[in-house]
Chain A
Amino acid sequence: MSTAHTVVEVRDLRKRYRLGVIGGATLGDELKVLLARLRGRPNPLVPLDGGMDAQREGEHFWALRGVSFDVQEGEILGIIGKNGAGKSTLLKLLSRITTPTEGTARMKGRVSSLLEVGTGFNPELTGRENIYLNGAVLGMDRSEIDRKLDEIIAFSGIKHHIDTPTKRYSSGMKVRLGFAVAAHLEPEIMIIDEVLAVGDAEFQRKCLGKMKDVAESGRTVLFVSHNMVSVKSLCDRVIWLKDGKVHMDGPTEEVVHTYLGSYTTMRSRVIWDEEAPGVPELKLREVRLDGLPADGVITTSDAFQVHVRFENLGFGEGEVVPAIHLLNGDDVVVMGSSVRDSLEPTTRFMVGTHEVCCTIPGDLLNVGEYRILVQFAHQGKVVLREAGTVAFEVHSTKRQGAWFGQRVGVVRPKLEWAVLG
């Protein structure tokens, strides 16, 4: 088939959820709501805090606010966006797990959706029995499974344990078996939710290869992911969902790049004029990031600097020691460092304005959000501590060999290795 031909048509899809208590938890609550409605009073069960969210409307929340797009046959479409942007809602609607409040979506051909691998596995049944059950749940019929059974078992790589109840499987084995079944579905349209983030490197490569095969055989894939690495290596086109709407739709490179650069969590410069944090003798004036990559997107291999400008108004005696703490998204202090690390012990910051600069090396921080806390000590006592300074996010856009997931650990330095024998 050479000419493009639309196989998925989504038109003005909207989904509204009720906030807070969904319906009455008990019949009594439901009666209260009914009574209030009859008297023309507001629903007594809706929480009263008035959020000013764009997606919020009274007691309802619009998870999707008019999403439209087309997908052509054979296209691999990536769907990205922050948590709460509507990705999972869109997936659930297209998978027919729930229904839209307004709008339509139409699809041509057999559709399989994989929101999870191994859905419906029963721990008491053997691997083989679960292949049949899982296959049937995903829409395969018995003869189809019979035909593909050997291939599925071979792909999963757990041939020796195939007649063991799955409750004795490790979680990795369950995932392998689940993906093996899913990979042998033959739908015209496949909807996938980040299943690639599991399994070991070798298995991921196998899965990715299988997905490429699926795509090359002319099938259409809708792939929802947080992982820009896999989106970049798989998709031709990307849709970026933001606040329940399509924010951007275009070629993968372009959309992913804009997406990564758009983070509002990035705060690369903070300046104080009045009400500067500090004590009468010492004021913090400015904290900023410097030496960032031209596009403003920090990746794990980039080095950059943290500048701290401060004013000593009255500490004449004794030394002032500036330091920074790096906190990650979980507020764990990843590390701390003071000027004592590398400056001459004789360096003094006398009365006046000073600026110090600390370099954070590349290949040190792992993917995630970070913020910097600035601290000053005077004669061994902390005199100033300011947490509301710069914040940034470290991204991964490059593949680490065969590995598509995130590296483990709070930090990810590249260490020296040697072969000794």
Chain B
Amino acid sequence: MNAGSTGARRTEGDWSIVIRPEQPWWRLDLKEFWRYRDLLVLLVRRDIVAQYKQTVLGPLWHVIQPLTTTFTFAFIFGKAAGLSPPDLPPVLFYMSGIVAWNYFAGVINRTSKTFVGNANLMSKVYFPRLVVPASMAVSSLVSYLIQLGTFLIIYGYYFFQGNDGWGPSPWLFALPALVALMALLGLGSGILVSSMTTKYRDLGFLVGFGVQMLMYASPVIMPLDRLSRIPWLLTLFKLNPMTPVIEATRAVFFGYPIDWGGLTYSAGVTVGVMLIGLMTFHRVERSFADIV
């Protein structure tokens, strides 16, 4: 009937929403993502608030877990096995690594459940799906900041107790860049895994375990120079994109030289993982409702 009028308006610009079978993955609609920023903020709030309702200690749990791990590691790996560097209090050495690792691991573990954990929401209403993992990366940041604050208090205490020549490097102000790198690496891996778990639930079980294994292949446990006698193990550690990040975190706190080459490698891996993650995420978000 009105073929004439629709024919005249064949330009896509007139239609605000066009639904079609294929949408190239690189057409990531950042404008739309921005329009939903309030949703992101509210999801972050929901995560934080809902997590601590009906808990006695509330946010204190953020502090208890890393402290316990730190003392355990400092005792087993530091005192008993003698793996921590001699010029640094073991507690500081381990806590600096654990706090950074916790953030990365938290982001991966949580974002990897994006689809499976929000199936109900996503099968009922449309919104840019990427808002969900992004909100998780942000809400994990709260936990990170609390842990970082705790670390800084302990760090300050040891520093003013007198130190054997260690202290903050001028690069300390670049710490947010390291955090951003961890966030993106965690987010990229997380959305990649979450996209794959919609089809293969097996992967869901693997994530927690895999991340744990990855930690033992990082300098969280011991400084890299302890490995110089076992070159293949050293190579393995260096392949872990988190290795340079942990090293750099310690470098800025304790004034060690920064391994720029390593950081470049990490950044490269992050970009790669992020691109592959976005690609698979985009494929899955369009067909996800048919699978679950």
Contacts and interface: CB of A to CB of B under 8 A. Distances in A.
Interface string B1-42: 010011000000011111111010000000000011011011
B289 A97 contact: yes
B202 interface: yes
Contacts of B19: 93-94, 96, 99-100, 104-107
A7 to B, nearest CB: 9
A75 B28 CA distance: 33
A125 interface: yes
A122 B50 contact: yes
B125 A95 contact: yes
Contacts of B164: none
B145 interface: no
A111 B41 CA distance: 22
B286 A137 contact: no
A97 B50 contact: no
A411 B202 CA distance: 50
Given A27-B202, A124-B50, A96 B21 contact: no
A348 to B, nearest CB: 64
A113 B126 contact: yes
B213 interface: no
Given A22-B290, A107-B16, A165-B53, A119 B121 contact: yes
B200 A137 contact: no
B16 to A, nearest CB: 6
Nearest to B123: A97
B46 A106 contact: no
A124 B16 CA distance: 36
B289 A92 contact: yes
B18 A70 contact: no
Interface in A53-80: 70
B21 A106 contact: no
B229 interface: no
Contact of B42 (A92, A104, A119, A132): A132
A142 B38 contact: yes
Contacts of A105: 18-19
A150 B126 CA distance: 26
Interface string A102-131: 111111111101011001101011000100
A101 interface: yes
Contact of B20 (A104, A110, A115): A104
A6 B10 CA distance: 12
Contact of B21 (A25, A102, A116): A102
B50 A115 contact: no
B49 A120 contact: no
A6 B15 contact: no
Nearest to A17: B290
Nearest to B20: A104
A24 interface: yes
Contacts of B123: 97
B124 A97 contact: yes
A115 B122 CA distance: 11
Contacts of A100: 19-21
A4 B123 CA distance: 33
A27 B49 contact: no
A289 B126 CA distance: 49
B49 A129 contact: yes
B57 interface: no
A24 B125 contact: no
A236 B109 CA distance: 50
A26 interface: yes
13 contacts: A6-B6, A25-B200, A25-B201, A96-B19, A96-B126, A99-B286, A100-B21, A103-B21, A116-B125, A122-B50, A125-B49, A133-B46, A139-B36
